[in-house]
Structure 1
Amino acid sequence: MTVYNKWYHPYEINEKYQKRVAYFSMEFGIHQALKTYSGGLGFLAGSHMRSAHDLRQNMIGIGILWKYGYYDQTRNDDQTMRVQFQKKYYTYLEDSGIMVTVNVNGHPVKVKALVLRPEVFGTVPMYFLTTNIEENDHLARTITFHLYDREPSTRIAQSIVLGIAGAKVVEELGGADLYHMNEGHALPLAFYLHEKFGNAEEVRKRVVFTTHTPEKAGNEVHDIHLLNKMSFFNNTSLEEARRMTGMHGNFFDYTLAALRIARIANGVSQLHGQVARDMWYENEGVCEIKAITNAQNARFWMDNTMRQALERDDTQALVQRKADMKQDLFEIVADQTGKLFRKDVLTVVWARRFAAYKRADLLVHDIERFFEMISNKSQPVQVIWAGKPYPFDEGAVSVFNSLVHLSHQRKNFAVLTGYEIGLSRKLKQGADIWLNTPRRPREASGTSGMTAAMNGAVNLSVLDGWLPEFARHGENSYVLPVVDTNLPDSMQDEIDHKNLMNILEKEVIPTYYKDRVKWMNVVKQSMRDVMPFFDSDRMAHQYYEQMY
């Protein structure tokens, strides 16, 4: 049996991908059974690890093993959302034999690395770090309890574990040529590398950075003195950390620091790359920001029967398979809500994180018009919502619960809980329309629409994130006209809502019911256009080509 305590891959490395890359991410969406993710960032990282394996790349993944995962989304008696934290157990993660020590707030903390072997889920070798071991006291053990813990000092400690302990684990494995930070959470690794190599230029040669969000909440900022006290900068002095990052005030911006430390960075769609450059280029010392559009692993996400039917251009087989997949989804709807949905009815799905800018409730902006639309007896519509708000975001939870209460008024309107990989796949396979309503240009990529298109769901979306690179209105998707982003948010919402309802009522619904040939042409064109460019094999190759 191979022992994974040295840099090892169970395949011959492809000569195009020889450089040794360690990929650091706070979350990885590898499989429904491995609860180390919250949403899109994790799904993206998981697809990257799968494609890196399939392309035989010389890469490993470094993440954290969360004792309670993100959280379990369940229901109260009135069907509203309840947050539950339940311990997770994984017999397939193995002790790599590697244990390292980091300093957190003046205390030594032991960190153990557990390995996910490539043959388990078809990824590159992945190392999940945990402090929940008997060598640590209770407080140290809690560092790796909760993904995105709400306590700032714990979040800082988690970055220290991911960045510094992760870098030490990579050294134990034999070292890497390059360190890829997927978001700024692993930033302490740069200060560890600085201590090892002695100057910022040597660090810069070895670090690349991906920024995923133009949202303020996604770009962490902390008091620089608290970071210093907690050993975020490892053994690098505060003065030297300031010099490296150009941070001269009391606050330390992870993203800006990463952009000054890295050799090169990227946004995750062509539009987001431009937005990121507009956001950050006004600051001195920022590295070049490219754009590599996110993608998802088709071998994992795409239904094989749909793929084969598309290859044969067998319209009837596509229609039949879509009906079967809708029925599979509707079994979940019935189980959770007691409602029976119909396979012959146009089904609209909105499913993603309940962040405010994603506007989960845009479709019900005019509730009377919405109810009138879904109650049309000759051209009925079924609507499903799903998604996990951040558990301590009261506004997002309130929106989720308000939709639950509204859904009690109609039998063809459902809100599902438990939005993880398994349910995500069922929703994409069962949807006719995949609805995406972010406030432009705040969606960096939005990869759920890619995997929906792979499964015969047609995107109905704001022209944001990846969509400008894909969508052609009425040919492979339906797209809302671009709204002036200088308008107040309330006016943008009003205009987007009217455009959304007009497209649904005048184009989508009539086409689905009255022009099935055109509808199926849109479905097939969407499936053809999403492949192969939005398959993560292309993305994983581009990272080697453009970043590494």
Structure 2
Amino acid sequence: MKIERPAPQTIAYFSMEVALESPLPTYSGGLGVLAGDMLRSAADMRLSMVGVTLLHRKGYFLQRLDDEGRQSEEPAAWPVDQFLQLTDSTCQVEIEGRQVTVRAWQYLITGASGAVVPVFLLDTDLPSNDPYDRTLTDYLYGGDQRYRLCQEVILGVGGVRVLRAMGYTRVFRFHMNEGHAALLALELFAEEFKQMPQRREDAVDAVKRLCVFTTHTPLPAGHDQFSLDLTEHVLSGNQWEALQALGCCNGSLNMTRVGLRLSNYVNGVTKRHSEVSRTLFPDLAIGSITNGVHSATWAAPAFRALYDRYTPAWREDSLLLRYALGIPLDAIRQAHDDAKQLLIKEVNRTASAPFDPHAFTIGFARRATSYKRPDLLFYDSERLRRISVQHGPLQVIFSGKAHPRDEEGKALIQHIFRRAKELAPEVKVAYLPNYDMDLGLLLTSGADLWLNTPQPPYEASGTSGMKAAHNGVPSLSVLDGWWLEVPVEGVTGWSIGSRDNGTVFERRDDRDAEELYWKLEGTILPLYYGDPLKWAELMRFTIALNASFFNTDRMIHEYVTHAYRDR
């Protein structure tokens, strides 16, 4: 495997997690998948970019679910040297007063254009390191606060130093994908401040010219924070002095605050999320670049073949998917049937009750946590049962992991298991473990309807519905995140709530459940079972309107225009 050499000017994209391919457990969910999709589109578009992340030798975790839905976790170790190539570049970082050696492994992403984007995965499992330090690149989002802060030193400080050791001395932009990477900006500031200790704002401005920051969470608790005692203990003396000089810590180290303070361009990941973020950080200008997904990755094989036939060059330019309006309806129906057969086969391999490939199938897959409201569909189980009996067979497929320390999220999975037993056989429900890229593709392409029920305004973006759209699967979604930007009701899906209310304050579960049931029994199931060609036309509009826009090709064009240009 060839080791890629740096281009004269490069964009360095830092993310705590990056989804490279399904067998590599270097991601936990949407943040990592977004990072991987962005890097894939960069390769498609021949953008000079490099990814930086941690190795995560033992992954996020393997999810085990017993018959009652109780989740247990196991390490997800993987054969690193079978997927990555070790580089000869290393650097030293100081952690808790110890010198820690960091080395880099390389993964190459080859785009549709033939261009290559390298991703460097940082690793501290070297014999020369302290036993504790050797574990710091083992687990994604594992350990305690000390472990997490040490990891963020490796990602931010170690990432900058490893890139320089590789010859990336003229990085054009450092892009921080969420606050986990913010110490890269502190590293740059410490260098500048050392050269001009009496001119702090000049040092700040020098770093800001290089940095871009993307925030992904509208939840205050979602921003990494560390006590100042721990911070002083973990950081080097120079970094601690630079942090104090920066003056952005008010009782704790808020990683988002550091990233915001030292970035020239900051954005949320939808228009709505940017509005919410400005209420959390009212003193800062926060722009908006709506997320997307990588079209060629998230179109199922049957749909890739369909697009190759009817919209050539869509892999190089996802906007061409708007011409899906010319694809015959029968061809769309056949591609969906092929994708659905693969999904039902996987469900029947793992679930106790066999699913019917002809029954209306709802998909719901995302991290199991309370604000996502995965159990809203079961708010009135008897109502759901009557809908299935009176309006046509209904079956539901769930997937998603709860964080090991999220007991409420784990309880939600158990609740779904209990409801599944209560609703059988009229409504079949399956919960598939170990949601990953491969399973995500099966679900978002094989379902007939994609369900999204977060509690507004806590959904920053949501990208699973975008993946579904690339396979013609319409959504039924609460108006939050990306769905607020979707075109017309009934053309590419349906909404719970209205654009005039429910987008600022939390919504009541009973009202949202009532509207969900009303849409299912009054509109969606009658259309699916009563007018198959009209349903296929809806699928075609979903591709042409939603997939052609909500993709990472469009997203990267916006980053180049708004974030990466000289100011």
Runs of 5+ consecutive residues of structure 2 not aligned to the other structure: 194-202, 311-323
Using the alignment, how far apart are the partners of 1:128 and 1:444 within structure 2? 27
Cα distance in 2 between the residues matched to 1:186 and 1:66: 15
Show the counterpart of 1:242: 244
Asked if 1:70 corresponds to 2:60, the answer is yes
For each residue in 1:54-85, what CA deviation from the matched residue of structure 2 results, as whole angstroms up to 9, or x when unmatched?
A: 10011100000101111111233545332111
Question: Could you tell me how far apart the structure 2 residues matched to 1:39 and 1:421 are?
Answer: 9
Query: With structure 2 as the length reference, what TM-score do the two structures score?
Result: 0.89
Whole-Å separation in 1 of the counterparts to 2:247 and 2:474: 44
Alignment partner of 2:136: what SS?
helix
Partners of 1:486 and 1:289 lie apart in 2 by 18
How far the C-alpha of 1:257 sits from its partner, in A, is 2.3
Which residue in 1 is equivalent to 2:359? 345
The question of 1:147 aligning with 2:140 is answered yes
TM-score, length basis structure 1 = 0.92
Q: Deviations over 1:179-217 (max 9, x none)?
A: 110001011112211232232221111111000010133
Q: Which amino acid aligns with 2:105?
A: L
SS in 1 for 2:508: helix
Matches within 5 A, 1:323-402: 323-376=337-390, 379-402=392-415
Q: Is the 8 A contact 1:462 1:479 kept in 2?
A: yes
CA contact (8 A) 2:325 2:540 kept: no
**Structure 2 residue 180 is matched with structure 1 residue 185:** yes
Q: Residue 103 of structure 1 contacts residue 234 of structure 1 at CA under 8 Å; is this kept in 2? A: no
Q: Which residue of 2 aligns with 1:46?
A: 36
Matched, 1:297 2:294: yes
Indicate if the aligned counterparts of 2:44 and 2:111 stay in contact, CA closer than 8 A: no
- Does the 8 Å contact 2:339/2:442 carry over to 1? yes
With over 3 angstroms needed to count, the CA separation of the structure-2 counterparts of 1:471 and 1:355, relative to structure 1, is farther
Aligned to 2:267: 266
CA shift for structure 1 position 245: 4.2
Q: 1:192·1:234 contact (CA, 8 Å) conserved in 2?
A: no
Residue by residue over 1:411-453, the C-alpha shift from the partner in whole angstroms, topping out at 9 and shown as x without a partner, is 4211111100000000011111000001112111101111101
Q: Which residue of 1 aligns with 2:6?
A: 7
- Aligned counterpart for 2:211 among listed residues 207, 214, 217: 207
Q: Secondary structure at the match of 2:481?
A: coil
Q: Which residue of 2 aligns with 1:105?
A: 96
CA shift, 1:322, in A, is 1.2
SS at match of 1:125: strand
Task: Specify which of 73, 83, 93 is matched with residue 92 of structure 1.
Answer: 83
Is 1:511 the counterpart of 2:527? The answer is yes
Q: Tell whether 2:132 aligns with 1:116.
A: no
Within the candidate set 161, 167, 191, 1:168 is matched to 161
Contact in 1 for aligned 2:42/2:556 (Cα 8 Å): yes
1:306 & 1:352 partners in 2: Cα distance? 27
Structure 2 contact 217–460 (Cα < 8 Å) conserved = yes
Residues 388, 293 of structure 1: alpha-carbon distance in 2 compared, 3 angstrom cutoff: same
Distance 1:79 1:224, change over 3 A: closer
Contact 1:100 1:168 survives alignment (8 Å): yes
**CA shift at 1:120, angstroms?**
9.8
Superposed CA RMSD in Å reads: 2.0
Secondary structure of 1:435's partner? strand
- Cα distance in 1 for partners of 2:107, 2:367 equals 27
User: Using a 3 Å threshold, how does the CA distance of structure 1 residues 332 and 524 change in structure 2: closer, same or farther?
Assistant: same
Q: Does 1:252 pair with 2:246?
A: no
Contact in 1 for aligned 2:60/2:76 (Cα 8 Å): no
- Structure 1 CA distance, aligned partners of 2:373 and 2:68? 23
Shift of 1:517: 2.9
Per-residue deviation, residues 198-246 of structure 1 (Å, max 9, x unmatched): 3222111111100001013321111122112100x661344x4134242
Amino acid at match of 1:35: P
Higher mean alpha-carbon deviation, 413-422 vs 330-339, is at 330-339
Aligned match of 1:223 in 222, 227, 233? 227
Does the Cα contact within 8 Å between 1:104 and 1:230 map onto a contact in 2?
yes
**3-state SS of 1:235 partner:** helix
SS in 1 for 2:73: strand
Distance across 2 between alignment mates of 1:207 and 1:57: 17
- Structure 2 distance, partners of 1:355, 1:540, is 29
Deviation at 1:40, TM superposition (A): 0.5
CA distance in 2, matches of 1:347, 1:200: 53
> Following TM superposition, by how much is the alpha carbon of 1:469 offset from its aligned partner in structure 2, in angstroms?
1.5
2-structure distance, mates of 1:186, 1:434: 32
Q: 1:335-366 deviations in whole A, cap 9, x for unaligned?
A: 11132212221111111111211111111111
Q: Hey, what's the Cα distance between the residues in 2 that align with 1:185 and 1:533?
A: 28
Distance 1:444 1:486, change over 3 A: closer
**Displacement of 1:470 after TM fit?**
1.6
User: What CA distance in whole angstroms lies between the structure 1 residues aligned with 2:246 and 2:133?
Assistant: 29
Instruction: Please say if residues 350 and 436 of structure 1, whose CA atoms lie closer than 8 Å, have aligned partners that are also in contact.
Output: yes
- Measured after TM superposition, the shift of residue 306 of structure 1 is 4.3
2:466 and 2:547 in contact (8 A); partners too: no
Kindly provide the amino acid, as one letter, of the partner of residue 495 in structure 1.
R
Moved more, 138-147 or 189-198: 189-198
Structure 1 unaligned residues grouped into runs of 5+: 9-17
Secondary structure in 1 aligned to 2:356? coil
CA contact (8 A) 1:471 1:479 kept: no
Task: Check conservation: 1:306, 1:455, Cα contact below 8 A.
Answer: no
| Whole-angstrom distance in 2 between the partners of 1:41 and 1:449 | 15
- Asked if 1 retains the 8 angstrom alpha-carbon contact of 2:223 and 2:254, the reply is yes
- Are the equivalent residues in 1 in contact too, given 2:469–2:547 (CA < 8 A)? no
Q: Please name the residue that 1:15 is paired with.
A: none
| Identical-pair percentage | 33
Letter in 1 for 2:367: R
Three-state SS of the structure 2 residue aligned to 1:155 is helix
1:170 alignment partner, SS class: helix
CA distance in 1, matches of 2:493, 2:76: 40
2:321 equivalent in structure 1: none
